[in-house]
């Protein structure tokens, strides 16, 4: 199954999802450079409070970058331009965990598709797959997200940034 692209989902719903965290989403013209893309097109980009995507951007990339925005502290968010990378392994793991949780709010995606797309794209997890990591080895990421009040103890989003 090919990786799910932004052109294959309801983009307005994606925009609404991210807007709940104060993140706006801008769609860039096909074949144009994506502003703020650390890995270059078709990967999503971040500048300030705006996520940039194209129609050929993988949905997992949009989710991952949005979750970096959600998980970073306010000081980093204030100067955010292109490099949203986590400042620690636990933050990066938490970004992945939250991406999986938020995939459930995109009807075309969901957790199973997110696991598959993450594995296909080359995300690397100690247990060999995104699903195995999420289900058996991600307690520390979940705890970090709970401590930062980004999710509840039942894995529900709190709809706030760190």
State pLDDT tens for residues 59-100.
Answer: 999 999 999 999 999 999 999 999 886 679 999 999 999 999
- Asked whether 104 and 97 are in contact (CB, 8 A), the reply is no
Q: Tell me if 155 is assigned to some domain.
A: no
Round to whole Å and give the CA distance between 89 and 112. 24
Query: In 3-state terms, what secondary structure has residue 46?
Result: strand
Domain count, the chain: 1
Is 154 within the bounds of a domain? no
Kindly report the backbone phi and psi dihedral angles of residue 135, in degrees, each rounded to the nearest multiple of 5, phi listed first. -85, -25
Q: How confident is the model at residue 39 (pLDDT cuts 50, 70, 90)?
A: confident
pTM strictly above 0.85: yes
Residue 1 lies in a domain: no
Write out the residue range of the structural domain in which residue 54 sits.
Answer: 6-147
Does some domain include residue 24?
Answer: yes
* Residue with token string 């144009």: 32
Residue 111 burial by Cβ neighbours in a 10 Å radius (0-12, 13-18, 19+): middle
Mean pLDDT of 92-117: 97
pLDDT at 86: 65
125: pLDDT confidence band, cut at 50, 70 and 90? confident
Confirm whether 153 is domain-assigned: no
């Amino acid at each position: 199954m090919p990786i799910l692209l932004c052109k294959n989902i309801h983009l307005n719903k994606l925009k609404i999802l991210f807007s709940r965290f104060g993140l706006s989403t801008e769609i860039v013209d096909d074949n144009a450079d994506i502003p703020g893309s650390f890995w270059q097109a078709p990967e999503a980009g971040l500048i300030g409070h705006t996520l940039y995507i194209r129609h050929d951007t993988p949905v997992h990339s949009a989710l991952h970058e949005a979750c970096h925005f959600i998980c970073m502290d306010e000081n980093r968010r204030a100067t955010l331009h292109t490099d949203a990378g986590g400042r620690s392994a636990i933050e990066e793991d938490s970004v992945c965990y939250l991406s999986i949780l938020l995939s459930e709010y995109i009807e075309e995606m969901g957790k199973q598709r997110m696991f598959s797309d993450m594995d296909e794209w080359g995300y690397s997890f100690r247990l060999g797959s995104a699903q195995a990591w999420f289900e058996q080895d991600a307690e520390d990421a979940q705890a970090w997200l709970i401590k930062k009040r980004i999710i509840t103890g039942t894995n529900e989003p709190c709809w706030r940034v760190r």
